Structure 1
Amino acid sequence: MRLFCLVGYALAPLLASGTILQNGQVRDIVFPDTSIASVNSNSNWTSFAPNATEISYKGRWDSKHISWWSAPGLKFGFTGDKVAISFGQYTSPGVLIAYRFAGQDWLFTNVTANSTHQLIYSSTLGFNLTTQSQRPQTFELRVTNYAYGVQIAGIHLSRDAKLIKIPNFSKKIEVIGDSLSAGQYGTFEGLSSYAWGLAEGLGDVEFDITAYPGICLVDQDCWGNAHGQTYQWLRTPDTSSRAEVIYGDNPPVWDFAHHQQSDIVVINLGTNDNNTHNNVTNEKYLSSYIDFVGQVHQKYPRAQIILISLWNGFNQVGNTWQQGGAFVEEIQQVYAHYNNSGFVHYFNTTGILQHNDIGPQYHPTDVGHVKLASHLMQYIKLKFDWVFGATGPEVQADTLYWNDEPNY
């Protein structure tokens, strides 16, 4: 399960390129090289430390400003006409980041340790279209790779420019999961996942995606992950090898009290527990899940918790296909255990995905992720009266396909 997606991330002297398969065909894609020389002693820039209060970190970051889990990022407002970021020594080699100015589409580039990248210019698309009501100008960055991360060493703006704090949205959603939620094998991994599509699709909400490939719910080794989510969710870093290098066997505990509380928590765990390779019994899974829901409720006492049923792929049966399942009765038993609490809900995925929504590596395609996200959005709207707040900015990159042949 600890495999990299079909996008190859490597730095080239001038341009960084990757391979994305689209219906079995290679899609041409080239990521621009945004690296520049260090700006520390350049009087044409104004620099800010990574702990500047105007910077809003999204997802889980540690005290060294190192990112963890799926699709972590940052956001801030700024004056001036350029933005550059310096990345520290704990930045993974060739990690792919997504970034955007205001509500423009996501752009992508590869970064590496001890480098500086200029990401916004006065010529950036949409920059000169900013109206007075759209100020302050905003910048957002997200890490796409689930196993990689960045360390922020500094933010650089135009000379005499200022950072501006962008207030958090009042609502927050969190998705806790494994590779299915982290977007493994999606075009842009975290930014192609259903978890990302759900949160971004809802619009004006904050979100965390605490998901990592191969991880079990039960606290045991699964596919090289030393711990399951019943342990790791309470920690700041994920179970990656870089976390082991930085923290060893003593990862820092996540300080829930000093971060915005989640209003909705979506749990999608058990696919790895269900694999016979990991030897998790049905009884252990059930008891661990009941305990884990209690843990989540303790940390987020006002949150509504949604349990997702596991679709577990498709099998060919005779001349057609049939959806599989995993821990079907156990997840329903967890729901029944908390049925009278009022804060636990069950989301049945049966029938949402079809066999061609699953890629060759047993994970949803980009279309599969979009379908699941869309159904979850509608479920949350109907169940909790949340409105769809996304009103134009791109949600999932590179999904604009159409046929313009009138005589097809």
Structure 2
Amino acid sequence: MLQFALLAAASASISYATILPASKPVTLSNINPFIAYHGRWDASPGTWWAGSGVKLNVQNLESLELNLGPHTTAPLASVGVSVNYGPYTTVNVSQGANIIPLDGSNSRGNSVVRITTEGWQDNRMQLDSIVLNKGAQVRPYTPSKLVFQVIGDSLSAGQYLDQGVLQAWPVLTSENYKAELRVNAQPGAALKDIPAWGNVHGVSYEYFRTEDTGYYYTTDHNYTTPWDFSHDQPPPTHVVIHIGANDASQNVTATDFEQTYLSFVTRLRTLYPIQPILVFTPWGWPAADGSISYYYPGSYEKIVDERHAIGDRNVFLVNTTGWVSWEDVFPANTHPTEAGHAKIAGLFETWLKTWGLHPESSWATKVAA
């Protein structure tokens, strides 16, 4: 992709003057090597998938203007802004200049700003430039040693939540673990590459593309491009998969689903040869009478067992049975509420600690007075 080629060239020409105090506002073009991109961006550069965005490490930060291009969702896209690892605050941005509030920044010290798209649709930012105050010094962002890659559907993308993915269990867990996070989760999409609930492709196809399945409805970008996984830096340390609900709703048989899942993991292993892969079982669809409907019972256990049988012992089953009840979901759609996602995150973190993975003691990019 052109953007990343330009970033590489820019990185080779960094000089100390880049981070010295400026006598006028500091303008960062979209190829500035100190902009830490996360998630998936096309060559424009524009975001795809919920949770994509940028991070900045700035000393003497007082103001930040985000200048966005015409491919930005109209009339607006909702992004979350976190300053110094504080809670995300929703800011609606649009094409042109957007002043980003910086509550919690330290104008005399070091500040970390994270700007992340919230929604699973209508979530495109096309970044032209970032303008900082006079005297701001931009420094490299150092990523955490822990990097979670989450693959899934609406149950991981935060559909129906006010802040979308930012209130969903993948973000809550990664924040508690002080980890970097990439989420590739598409509401309504099956794992099998079939049309489902408005998605023209399944996740087993779309995961390997830059764009999410919303590309089909975007008139200025109605095509897909292969994703270059070398852009995921650092690469994930842990891969988490929670998927299958939409395969079941499209009557994909258990045998077909298992074969699709095993083929998907085989392909993932070409990208992630040593990373632990954590396979979530369904927590199911709760009902008001206390019953819970599960899909593909026994299939996830079989998938893990088959990977073990060929010598891949680094695939683990995360049994989520009982994690979600009627009190944890929206009655209208049985998706987890904000409190439900917090409960799921807490239970997953307990599982991770029992398994042997503990949170980092601090973020890698420090916030200093």
| TM-score, normalised by the number of residues in structure 2 | 0.85
| Pair 1:364 & 2:355 matched | no
Which residue, 190, 200, 207 being the options, matches 1:233? 207
SS in structure 2 of the partner of residue 364 of structure 1:
coil
After superposition, what is the alpha-carbon deviation per residue over 1:66-95, rounded to whole angstroms, capped at 9, x for unaligned? 111121121111234211110111111221
Contact 1:200 1:390 in 2 (8 A): no
Cα RMSD, aligned residues only: 2.0
Aligned match of 2:367: none
Unaligned runs of 5+ in 2: 1-22, 364-369
How far off its partner does 1:161 sit? 3.0
| Pair 1:253 & 2:226 matched | yes
Which residue, 210, 213, 218 being the options, matches 2:187? 213
How far apart in 2 are the matches of 1:337 and 1:378?
26
Contact 1:216 1:222 in 2 (8 A): yes
How far off its partner does 1:237 sit? 1.1
Aligned match of 2:63: 82
| Pair 1:280 & 2:257 matched | no
How far apart in 2 are the matches of 1:167 and 1:126?
18
Aligned match of 2:113: 139
How far off its partner does 1:110 sit? 0.8
Which residue, 133, 140, 162 being the options, matches 2:137? 162
How far apart in 2 are the matches of 1:179 and 1:213?
4
| Pair 1:171 & 2:146 matched | yes
How far apart in 2 are the matches of 1:156 and 1:126?
16
Contact 1:311 1:326 in 2 (8 A): no
| Pair 1:196 & 2:145 matched | no
How far apart in 2 are the matches of 1:44 and 1:215?
48
The letter of the residue matching 2:324 is L
Aligned match of 1:92: 73
Within 5 Å, which residues of 2 pair with 1:59-78?
59-78=39-58
After superposition, what is the alpha-carbon deviation per residue over 1:300-346, rounded to whole angstroms, capped at 9, x for unaligned? 11210011111221235xxx411221112221110110124111111
| Pair 1:335 & 2:315 matched | no
How far off its partner does 1:160 sit? 4.8
Aligned match of 1:6: none
Aligned match of 1:299: 271
| Pair 1:262 & 2:242 matched | no
How far apart in 2 are the matches of 1:287 and 1:355?
31
Which residue, 347, 366, 375 being the options, matches 2:318? 347
Q: Tell me the number of residue pairs that the alignment of Structure 1 and Structure 2 aligns.
A: 334
The letter of the residue matching 1:198 is T
Contact 2:215 2:221 in 1 (8 A): no
How far apart in 1 are the matches of 2:135 and 2:362?
33
Aligned match of 2:14: none
CA 1:389–1:229: 2 relative to 1, 3 Å: farther
SS in structure 1 of the partner of residue 213 of structure 2:
coil
Which residue, 99, 103, 125 being the options, matches 1:150? 125
How far apart in 1 are the matches of 2:104 and 2:194?
48
CA 1:185–1:223: 2 relative to 1, 3 Å: same
After superposition, what is the alpha-carbon deviation per residue over 1:211-245, rounded to whole angstroms, capped at 9, x for unaligned? 11111000111111111111110111100146753
Which residue, 301, 315, 321 being the options, matches 2:287? 315
The letter of the residue matching 2:338 is D
Aligned match of 1:395: none
The letter of the residue matching 1:87 is L
SS in structure 2 of the partner of residue 327 of structure 1:
coil
How far apart in 2 are the matches of 1:384 and 1:253?
35
How far apart in 2 are the matches of 1:100 and 1:226?
33
Contact 2:77 2:92 in 1 (8 A): yes
Contact 2:200 2:216 in 1 (8 A): no
Identity of aligned residues (%): 25
Within 5 Å, which residues of 2 pair with 1:365-404?
365-387=337-359, 389=361
The letter of the residue matching 1:342 is R
The letter of the residue matching 2:303 is V
Contact 2:88 2:166 in 1 (8 A): no
Contact 1:305 1:343 in 2 (8 A): yes
How far apart in 1 are the matches of 2:320 and 2:357?
20
After superposition, what is the alpha-carbon deviation per residue over 1:35-64, rounded to whole angstroms, capped at 9, x for unaligned? xxxxxxxx9522111110001011111222
CA 1:243–1:389: 2 relative to 1, 3 Å: farther
The letter of the residue matching 1:202 is Y
Contact 1:183 1:189 in 2 (8 A): yes
CA 1:228–1:139: 2 relative to 1, 3 Å: same
How far off its partner does 1:268 sit? 0.6
Unaligned runs of 5+ in 1: 1-42, 392-408
Please identify runs of 4+ aligned residues in structure 1 that moved more than 6 A: none
Contact 1:201 1:390 in 2 (8 A): no
Contact 1:70 1:209 in 2 (8 A): yes
Structure having the higher helix fraction is 2
SS in structure 2 of the partner of residue 127 of structure 1:
coil
After superposition, what is the alpha-carbon deviation per residue over 1:259-279, rounded to whole angstroms, capped at 9, x for unaligned? 22211111011000111xx23
The letter of the residue matching 2:85 is G
How far off its partner does 1:104 sit? 3.4
How far apart in 2 are the matches of 1:351 and 1:185?
22
Contact 1:65 1:151 in 2 (8 A): yes
More deviation, 155-164/287-296? 155-164
